[in-house]
Structure 1
């Protein structure tokens, strides 16, 4: 027995077989690790489930949409947005367009529950065979989940979240509801989101008007909107269109014959007229500033406000064109500054590719300006071949005649021996399009250059204060500084009507008052006395006030100010709305105090309105995306030289009361000067246009009142003028003050811009005369003496007076 026990003890002490215990441990470790991993995975999955965004918010789909700005005629003139989108109900989207998207993006859309497992396998096989990612497997539902609820990060965790959310969406939303979100949310290239904006952007149509060829082309965009853009790459877009049509045939959505017909249907790129263009940028920026201050960024850029403004779209375009044309004319009088840069032959293609990227149209736009490169010259006739992006055109010698003698060089590189006016191969110049290119070739150009001077134009309805047009500079993209509202510059002689108005209003002087135009000097409190001089250095002796204003005589203007007093003139200017600080000395008569174009134009509007001051404004009504009125402006409306004589609120003729209670603001028109003063000043400024410094404005062929202004050394040029229905002011000058040079006076630089604008802006608006109020009388006078003249007297003229201020004695009689 003992022996047996000993043997058992010895047996127990024998060594174990190697590896037997280790295997068990490894197995246990593996099981344990797997359990931990499973728990971790479950924990991570539960974490994801808990942190995923709520799907139910998609049931009330309200994406960021465009806030639209409308002109006074109700037409769209601008947009504000983060994502340019117009939401369209799914029932308005053609069935074939929906089928095109389904065929191209998710053929099993109506069969799966959010995830297309067969599609995943199919994509994986194709990608494995091609050894690259050739095909994706995201369903339309997954794309909506990613777009609406997730970030675009490329991580496996995001794909997992996307799959979970897609299955949740399919349980809560119908297929049509998912398509509604998808087709309105998806980015379609060229800055457009959703199928409605894409239809407008590429084909100039509403989504219901698309044909099958256009539908298939749109359905091909989501894969790569820029790559398949019909605007930039029509050939690639056609290839993608064919793929979509083939998929539609395979899925049974269309017959092969329909696909063939669609492939052969011509594609016409015809974008709807763009808004937020250069021509209205400064006006829209002022509106944007006001709206952002009042409603905040989110509401403005995301909530689809409807903003109604005072802008007259035709006038705004006329204002922009007039400023551009006028500045180019001023600039070309200063001469050609030469090429912008010189490229080597090796640099040519890269430069042109960059230019091409900035061209967003199928052909070069007539009247537009582009940067082009000289690629060939013809020494025989002086014509030049210019390449703009991937297009080519001709710059005939006659179309650069304004530049003077330009040396053409048939080699690359800047010639050292010729300065400024050399055009070698590789020279980069600005050209404007006279004849658009056809099939990316054959355009005809004119040599151009960007003006260095700036200008501002603002036009106001004098009866309401509504701003009809505003341009604050040559190019808003390069300078957002709004010179119409922000630039304070010396008005020069354009300020004289305010001095003369104060004199008339004082009843101490009349249009027939005689002042001696002779040299004078004043103690300036410095070493030298101040001696005002006339612009032409001619002194005419005794002249009437009318002649003095007509010919903008400086010395007489100073003497008038001296007579009425500087304080009285400043008070009168403030009545007209001049808020800037004014010099309290006699130099004020010559426009020595800086004002903005808006201030000066608003002051002239008081004369045009018959003595009423209105507040310039831009916005008339704002509604939210549901049509609720957020604010509404009811402007005053005045008859031409209206008869009202006391401060009162005058409502717009024909304006209907709001249908529902809304925050309405009633603007007022305050009578600040007597209508007789306003009329006589208007009558005096009619003479400026008829026979004085503002004669360019006679081209309107209708009653016009206005005044030019030119400062020392021609640093500022002005013209402010009006007809009964519209007043406009123009300023021209350099931001950093310097002379405008030859042709830089108000009559030569500013008046042509004003005249071009008014000719086009007033087209279709009937001419009206300035009607005198009852207490203005006309008398026959001798303009050399200011006394009454008998009928038939040589040189006699009819002059207007405020009743009681007309002369009482006849010329030649003893006084």
Structure 2
């Protein structure tokens, strides 16, 4: 019995010594332990997501990819997979697993190395939130104390939910929701059993066990997890066998982007960082809802890209990307071309080559395998073979310069040879030869009633260039400036019926010692012309004469009302021809003033911001274009609302009269529909006559082209949508040139000098054709203060005739003509305060 007593005394002493050691250790470490109560209000670092107005995901920003889920939102089998491999007794122990600790201690005693973790899920949670991953005894002791505290504070389900959302699983994915997306492009409910096992096996070593890094490592770890799931009866034998046999296939997936608007995403990112700071913006799980309509955004992107392809193809083919092998056309003449090829690789080598090549947007890398008389067989990336028919090849005459192209090809062999690495795209269900456009473009569409941006594309491809031409590129606007000059003229006693002299100007500049001779484009001069017709036909010399009549200072003062920075407006007569440099968004905002009846709205793209709990953090309060808006607040700073839950209504400032806006908008409809009587030989077209095929009478528009066609524009609007398109080269010194006639294309082509109507208008037209059906046509009622009287089309005076020599014109009350046309000699009222004698000599 003495032996038994000694053993009992040893056990008791050891027990109390252990308790004392634990208490002393706890007291020593107590002040170093973090407050686990913070877990009650933990905020997981969740990336910022950007959505369209209709809920489509545009982008996601943040270093850590995380998709927080409640425990009841996770598949039970996925949860059981983690429990099977990480902590089988999770629901039984108090936060620490004594059996596991004894096992780890035994390993330390026998090997001297701390290789066994013995950490429960609760301990891992403590480490992930509060401690480092270094394998030191003191860290392990802290981990145990924290785990016990956590178990006292949270329920088992709360601990497990936090763990499964916090755990690092590789490739910047944190939590099971993000891992399912990153590795398999799925939600957790779409995962198969073997995929669940792969994810459950990652916590041990996510950097080397993930299936993207090593399929073999992932497979081995997956099989261990599946074995544990079988042992714990989470799965049956049949499920185990099927999962073990499944192949490991995985690749990195980004966020599930459902709307392509990268330029918008970057605009939002910058605004959120400015508002909240980078750390908060990227980690608080903000959901940013934009004003963008996903359908309109997709249509804008397609219209812009197709227009650039069309321009690029007009100017010729610049040749292949590279030559994978060399081929030369044999000299003998046969019905089908014969090529002499050297060192042609086998099919596997070609596929391997293509797998290393990158496409861009909808352009797909391909290698030419065979060239026939008027077709070619190509292999696409991925190994698929397709035929390029003649309709997809015949455009490809050679590019010589922006001004010249080669002769139209007569055979495919004149364009392609076997071994060429080319780019192709699919259009109208057939593949065709293509190339990356060199020209650039921008398109912006906004709601003129409140400034909400509905669609915005800042270039051909964001992956090619992040420069957002819609908001960053200040380019000369050409004739897009003229409606604003004419608006100033209406404020200075001119009317749409005023007669101007459309004749060449010769202005001697004594300082420069040269004569300034601005010309119309084309160089056609009509003599006496009404202002309405001059605007619709974009008469340069009339715009200059109007500027002279009202003065440069008065003109610039009027242009400032449309939101244009006076620093961008040159103080000389070239202003009338569009030498001012503005961004497409600034131009669209200016045209919106005419569309909404005279109000300057502020364009915006962020509509609202929600936090991770879907609580409203920010709501933009737009300035509304209306005279009778009820202002519930005097608040004027639209970037900082007085209350996120109680929106205010604030009227946009009126910058021009309703009458002025109506008259210019109506005159710009003549750019589309022209005027006169074609049956009587007096009909005429405006510069935007192509838009007649849209068959809408509520469209107003204006073309714009700068010297040497370096910038081309088209801006147009209805009461519901203002749209501006720009096309040019990023190199502002490079001209868009001209396209010569291509005999292969016939009436399909658009030959001639590149200009607003030829180069920028088609993108606007294609976008509007698809978008405007969602905006029913509206007839614009003239505002109070507008009258309509019959005038003589030649003199602008009142007319009693009802034939083709007269038409109805709108006037601001009090500005109507007071004289009737009489006799055969018109009583011309010139609209320029210069020497009438010189003007009469030019006219007669």
Task: Tell me whether the two structures share a fold, i.e. TM-score over 0.5.
Answer: yes
Q: Structure 1 residues 458-467 or 265-274, which shifts more? A: 265-274
Maintained 8 Å contact 2:556/2:566: no
1:501-537 residue CA offsets vs partner (Å, 9 max, x unmatched): 111222x211111112111211333111101111111
2:177 is the counterpart of 1:196: yes
Q: Post-superposition shift, 1:295?
A: 1.0
TM alignment of 1:9-158, pairs within 5 A: 57-107=38-88, 109=90, 114=96, 140=121, 144=125, 147-150=128-131, 156-157=135-136
SS of residue in 1 equivalent to 2:261: helix
2:527 is the counterpart of 1:541: yes
The residue aligned with 1:693 is 687
Maintained 8 Å contact 1:686/1:704: yes
Q: Structure 1 residues 43-52 or 140-149, which shifts more? A: 43-52
The residue aligned with 2:588 is 601
Measure, in 1, the Cα distance between the counterparts of 2:283 and 2:379: 43
Maintained 8 Å contact 1:551/1:688: yes
Match of 1:613 among 581, 584, 600: 600
1:659-697 residue CA offsets vs partner (Å, 9 max, x unmatched): 977586654311111111101101111111223111233
Q: Post-superposition shift, 1:445?
A: 4.7
Measure, in 1, the Cα distance between the counterparts of 2:34 and 2:755: 66
SS of residue in 1 equivalent to 2:385: strand
2:508 is the counterpart of 1:493: no
Maintained 8 Å contact 2:354/2:380: no
The residue aligned with 1:377 is 370
Q: Post-superposition shift, 1:79?
A: 2.9
Match of 1:589 among 572, 576, 593: 576
Q: Post-superposition shift, 1:754?
A: 1.3
Maintained 8 Å contact 2:309/2:437: yes
SS of residue in 2 equivalent to 1:403: coil
SS of residue in 2 equivalent to 1:542: strand
Q: Post-superposition shift, 1:199?
A: 4.6
2:501 is the counterpart of 1:516: yes
SS of residue in 2 equivalent to 1:498: helix
SS of residue in 2 equivalent to 1:523: strand
- Quickly say closer, same or farther: Cα 1:334–1:628, change in 2 above 3 A: same
Match of 2:655 among 672, 677, 680: 672
The residue aligned with 1:739 is 735
The residue aligned with 2:776 is 766
The residue aligned with 1:683 is 666
The residue aligned with 1:394 is 386
- Quickly say closer, same or farther: Cα 1:456–1:665, change in 2 above 3 A: farther
Q: Post-superposition shift, 1:123?
A: 15
Q: Post-superposition shift, 1:265?
A: 10
2:165 is the counterpart of 1:172: no
SS of residue in 2 equivalent to 1:99: helix
The residue aligned with 1:625 is 612
Q: Post-superposition shift, 1:712?
A: 0.8
1:577-609 residue CA offsets vs partner (Å, 9 max, x unmatched): 111421222111100121121221111111001
Match of 1:483 among 459, 464, 469: 469
Q: Post-superposition shift, 1:391?
A: 3.9
TM alignment of 1:119-268, pairs within 5 A: 140=121, 144=125, 147-150=128-131, 156-157=135-136, 161=139, 165=143, 168-169=146-147, 172-173=150-151, 175-187=156-168, 192-199=173-180, 207=188, 212=193, 215-216=196-197, 218-219=199-200, 244-259=225-240
SS of residue in 2 equivalent to 1:431: strand
SS of residue in 1 equivalent to 2:494: coil
SS of residue in 2 equivalent to 1:672: coil
2:739 is the counterpart of 1:756: no
The residue aligned with 1:34 is none
Measure, in 1, the Cα distance between the counterparts of 2:525 and 2:427: 48
Gaps of 5+ in 1: 1-42, 129-133, 407-417, 437-443, 653-657
Match of 1:809 among 816, 819, 834: 819
Maintained 8 Å contact 1:316/1:470: yes
Q: Structure 1 residues 340-349 or 688-697, which shifts more? A: 340-349
The residue aligned with 2:714 is 719
Maintained 8 Å contact 1:393/1:445: no
SS of residue in 2 equivalent to 1:287: helix
Q: Structure 1 residues 676-685 or 800-809, which shifts more? A: 800-809
- Quickly say closer, same or farther: Cα 1:648–1:502, change in 2 above 3 A: farther
Maintained 8 Å contact 1:490/1:595: yes
Q: Post-superposition shift, 1:338?
A: 1.9
Q: Structure 1 length as normaliser, TM-score?
A: 0.77
2:557 is the counterpart of 1:571: yes
Q: Post-superposition shift, 1:92?
A: 2.6
Maintained 8 Å contact 2:470/2:585: yes
Q: Post-superposition shift, 1:765?
A: 2.4
1:763-787 residue CA offsets vs partner (Å, 9 max, x unmatched): 4222212221122122222212212
Maintained 8 Å contact 1:339/1:421: no
Q: Structure 2 length as normaliser, TM-score?
A: 0.75
The residue aligned with 2:306 is 325
- Quickly say closer, same or farther: Cα 1:736–1:218, change in 2 above 3 A: same
Q: Post-superposition shift, 1:496?
A: 0.7
Maintained 8 Å contact 2:181/2:254: no
The residue aligned with 1:706 is 701
Maintained 8 Å contact 2:602/2:622: no
Match of 1:431 among 420, 424, 428: 424
Maintained 8 Å contact 1:580/1:595: no
Measure, in 2, the Cα distance between the counterparts of 1:393 and 1:230: 30
Measure, in 1, the Cα distance between the counterparts of 2:127 and 2:433: 50
Q: Post-superposition shift, 1:498?
A: 0.8
- Quickly say closer, same or farther: Cα 1:621–1:256, change in 2 above 3 A: same
Q: Post-superposition shift, 1:714?
A: 0.7
- Quickly say closer, same or farther: Cα 1:118–1:624, change in 2 above 3 A: closer
2:446 is the counterpart of 1:460: yes
Measure, in 2, the Cα distance between the counterparts of 1:530 and 1:268: 71
SS of residue in 1 equivalent to 2:708: helix
Gaps of 5+ in 2: 1-23, 326-343, 400-411, 636-640, 674-684, 739-752, 828-844
Q: Post-superposition shift, 1:423?
A: 4.6
Maintained 8 Å contact 1:108/1:116: no
The residue aligned with 1:557 is 543
- Quickly say closer, same or farther: Cα 1:163–1:384, change in 2 above 3 A: farther
Q: Matched residue pairs, number?
A: 728
The residue aligned with 1:9 is none
Backbone CA RMSD of aligned residues = 4.6
Q: Post-superposition shift, 1:176?
A: 3.1
Measure, in 1, the Cα distance between the counterparts of 2:206 and 2:355: 17
Measure, in 2, the Cα distance between the counterparts of 1:213 and 1:566: 75
SS of residue in 1 equivalent to 2:49: strand
1:280-321 residue CA offsets vs partner (Å, 9 max, x unmatched): 122222222222112111110011223333222222222222
The residue aligned with 1:296 is 277
- Quickly say closer, same or farther: Cα 1:771–1:222, change in 2 above 3 A: farther
TM alignment of 1:266-277, pairs within 5 A: none
Measure, in 2, the Cα distance between the counterparts of 1:309 and 1:487: 22
Q: Post-superposition shift, 1:725?
A: 0.4
Maintained 8 Å contact 1:781/1:787: yes
Maintained 8 Å contact 1:515/1:542: yes
Maintained 8 Å contact 2:487/2:660: yes
Measure, in 1, the Cα distance between the counterparts of 2:135 and 2:206: 25
